[in-house]
Amino acid sequence: MYTQAMDLMAKEGKSEAPLLRSAEEIALQQRFDARIDAGEFMEAKDWLPENYRKTLLRQISQHAHSEIVGMLPEGNWITRAPTLKRKAILLAKVQDEGGHGLYLYAAAETLGSSRDQMLEALHSGKAKYSSIFNYPTLSWADVGVIGWLVDGAAIMNQVPICRCSYAPYARAMVRICREESFHQRQGFDSLLVMMQRGTPAQQDMVQDAVNRWWWPTLMMFGPPDDQSPNSAQSMRWGIKRISNDELRQKFVDAAVEQAKVLGVSLPDPELRWNEARQHYDFGAIDWSEFWRVVGGDGPCNRERLSARVKAWEDGAWVRDAALAHAARQTERARRQA
């Protein structure tokens, strides 16, 4: 009884194939748009436009992969942490990142993709993960700098996602942000101890780590707004609330003040306060390096991917055992019924 209607709106940016949509689907789309405009949150059971679903799946699965791959650079230092206290903190932090990956995979699964599909995309190199985790951790100071700068950038980017229009993602982010905040503080504290009570060699080690991580951290926020193909639509849908460039600027403004407290310099001769803008100006980012790393040719891309593939292959017996156990339990329950 529903009239079939032709919606001649072409797919965004493409003029070829017009979409054939039912009147019912158009009404659902209008209701979705109105709810987005009213700032409402969507749940997994709600009708969602296909492109909204795809965009979320892309972002959430990339985010999950980033957390899991992000365990590797710091995990590299667990066996060599300088004290028992630092080792316990680092172990907890790396485990937290694993937990974040799991919340995020679970949120992504509500959009209709299986965890196996997402992991296959990561292992085959099809899926992206954050560029930052393709850089090496050369000294103990890198662990502190990852906490201070990388987790600091992650929080700056992730706090607005707590208000993302897709509720399962927003809910996961609330808990993740609380934990990331502890991660940032522990990194800052570790660096502060080295800068205030360390030897000159330890202080140099911190400065060297800051020099190497500063620019890659600024790249974490993604390409400039005018070169970010997904931003406009994601902002309209309330998936992204603040743009890549705005978040990057907020991060620079905060990090410069924190660097003063630490007593480290930031490796950018153009970094200076701009009274008119009420922000720090900073130098040009090398976007060719960013795209090279995103494209798979960073210092550690191959190592990171092969570590994840090996972990997956080594864990096959655990998955097989869990499935065999579940099948036996089901069979037992069936016999007892």
**What is d(CA 61, CA 53) in angstroms, rounded to the nearest whole number?**
12
- Interface with ligand FAQ includes 75 (CB under 6 A)? no
Q: Which is nearer to ligand FAQ, 297 or 320 (CB)?
A: 297
End-to-end alpha carbon distance in the chain: 44
Among 200, 229, 334, 336, binds ligand FAQ (CB under 6 A): 229
CB–CB of 6/22 below 8 Å?
Answer: no
- Interface with ligand FAQ includes 68 (CB under 6 A)? no
What are φ and ψ of residue 10, in 5° steps? -75, 160
- Interface with ligand FAQ includes 234 (CB under 6 A)? yes
Q: Which is nearer to ligand FAQ, 203 or 252 (CB)?
A: 252
Q: Report helix angle 301-314 to 316-336, nearest 10.
A: 30
Among 168, 222, 238, 298, binds ligand FAQ (CB under 6 A): 222
Among 66, 137, 202, 301, binds ligand FAQ (CB under 6 A): 66
CA 97 from centre of chain: 11
Among 61, 231, 249, 301, binds ligand FAQ (CB under 6 A): 231
Nearest to 164 by CA among 89, 66, 237, 83: 237
Q: Which residues lie below 8 Å from residue 212, measured CB to CB, with a gap of 6+?
A: 135, 138, 142
- Interface with ligand FAQ includes 111 (CB under 6 A)? no
- Interface with ligand FAQ includes 165 (CB under 6 A)? no
Among 89, 111, 209, 220, binds ligand FAQ (CB under 6 A): 220
Among 56, 81, 146, 210, binds ligand FAQ (CB under 6 A): 146
- Interface with ligand FAQ includes 97 (CB under 6 A)? yes
Residue whose pair of structure tokens reads 């299986």 in the numeric block: 114
Q: Which residues lie below 8 Å from residue 14, measured CB to CB, with a gap of 6+?
A: none
Tell me, by CB under 6 A, how many residues bind ligand FAQ. Answer: 30
Residue-level length of the chain: 337
**What is d(CA 141, CA 136) in angstroms, rounded to the nearest whole number?**
12
Q: Which of these ranges, 77-85, 127-135, 254-262, 297-305, lies near ligand FAQ under the rule CB under 6 A? A: 127-135
Q: Which residues of the chain form contacts with ligand FAQ (CB under 6 A)?
A: 58-59, 62-63, 66-67, 70, 97, 128, 130-131, 146, 150-151, 154, 157-158, 219-223, 228-231, 234, 240, 244, 294
